[in-house]
Amino acid sequence: MNVQSPPVALKPNDYASDQEVRWCPGCGDYAIVKAVQKALSNMGADPKNTVFVSGIGCAARFPYYMATYGFHTIHGRAPAVATGVKLANPDLDVWVIGGDGDMLSIGGNHTLHVLRRNIDVQVLLFNNEIYGLTKGQYSPTSKVGTRSPSTPAGSVDSPVSACVFALGCNARFVARSVDTNLKVLPGLMQEAKENTGASFVEILQNCIVYNDGVYSSFTDKANIADGQVVCEHGKPLLFGKENEKGLRMTPGKMELEVVTIGENGVTEADILIHDETNRPLALMLAGMQPPNFPVAMGVIFRDPGPSYDAAVYDQIAEMTEKSPAIPINELMHKGKTWTVV
């Protein structure tokens, strides 16, 4: 649709707009915006063909800070707006940005459908388990018992896991990372971008004001090794300081367990090899909760399939070939007409 301009090496900063960033000092969103800018730079993304679409919430301010096209829409509806952008011009690289309230509460329905349709966009969900912009109410991902202005005695409803939800929606690319993990995050964005179809990335993000330290049990430096397991396709699901721990299927049961190599006769051969195309496995990995399990990071599931937008345009091409457009005047004359003289 557009003439491709010659590749210009843009630095991460070249993807930053001139707008002053207005997140709270220390907010995890700063790290994410840097990671995305780095990823775009690494990929040599063309700013003119890049569109960030967001809903409402702290995370949704994201597009204003990018020197690309951007649309800050309304609460929960970013996946729907992005669907229209992508279907109007499939050549565009479309990113959807939102938080846990935006995408799993008010906009849960649209998140479901953008994923199941497999529209070729990247969906980045910044999950901080709290409503930040409205001053700290509990969110659909908050743990039971979360005390907040609207739940002073603690929340009583059980949370949703973003990645389990995405897998249930039939998403074909589901990944997870942590806001400050700048070593991994840009690469993960690139993998999300390179996947054809809807790519879902949950970024665990620390809200320094209303939910500080919510993930520290597995994101603090000292806790990372034991608290996280990195999923890599074809590799054993090992973790721990010395990679001495691992995941395996409990013999005779459809469930995971944490084992230590060398204990109770467990060897490395017993450790489960990650198969990113296995949805039931992905569901189990995505659902693992601390403290009994490490939190799964990386590409938990990837099984690409045809994207909706491509299918729509294939069908248009097919129908056009079958019966090409005739002038509208002729179209209106088709069927039964009569002449009055």
Residue where the block lists tokens 């665990």: 204
- Using the structure block, give the residue that is written with the tokens 């995505």: 286
Q: Which is nearer to other proteins, 70 or 227 (CB)?
A: 70
Count of residues near other proteins by CB under 8 A: 63
Tell me if 66 contacts other proteins by CB under 8 A.
Answer: yes
CA dist 152 and 144 (Å) reads: 12
Please, which residues bridge with residue 257 across strands?
248
Q: Give the residue, chosen from 31, 32, 53, 171, that forms a contact with other proteins under the rule CB under 8 A.
A: 53
Q: According to the binding rule CB under 8 A, does residue 158 interact with other proteins?
A: no
Q: Residue 240: which of 279, 207, 266 has the closest Cα?
A: 266
List the interface residues with other proteins, window 72-101 (CB under 8 A): 72-74, 77, 79-89, 91-92
User: Does residue 281 touch other proteins according to CB under 8 A?
Assistant: no
- Closest distance between other proteins and the C-beta of residue 85, in Å? 4
| Closer by beta carbon to other proteins, 7 or else 265 | 7
Q: Return d(Cα 254, Cα 35) in angstroms, integer.
A: 37
202 DSSP β-pair partners: 125, 176
From residue 236, give the alpha-carbon distance in Å to each of 198, 231, 248. Answer: 27, 8, 9
Classify residue 197 as exposed, middle or buried by CB count within 10 Å of its CB (0-12, 13-18, 19+): buried
Rounded CA gap, 198 and 82, in Å?
11
Strands (DSSP E) along 162-263, which ranges?
173-178, 199-204, 228-231, 238-239, 245-249, 256-260
The tokens describing 216, both together, are 């520290």
Q: Which is nearer to other proteins, 106 or 188 (CB)?
A: 106
What distance in Å separates the CA atoms of residue 35 and residue 175, rounded to the nearest whole number? 15
Q: Does 150 bind other proteins (CB under 8 A)?
A: no
- Interaction between residue 324 and other proteins (CB under 8 A): yes
Residue with tokens 């499939």: 90
Between 77 and 176, whose beta carbon lies closer to other proteins? Answer: 77
- Only one of the segments 195-203, 231-239, 258-266, 318-326 lies at the binding site for other proteins (rule: CB under 8 A); that segment is 318-326
Nearer to other proteins, 74 or 283 (CB): 74
What would the x/- binding string for other proteins be over residues 7 to 36, using CB under 8 A? ----------x-x-----------------
Residue 118 engages other proteins in binding (rule: CB under 8 A):
no
Give the binding site for other proteins (CB under 8 A): 1-2, 5, 17, 19, 47-51, 53-54, 56, 63-64, 66-74, 77, 79-89, 91-92, 109-110, 112-113, 312, 315-316, 319-320, 323-325, 327-329, 331-333, 335-341
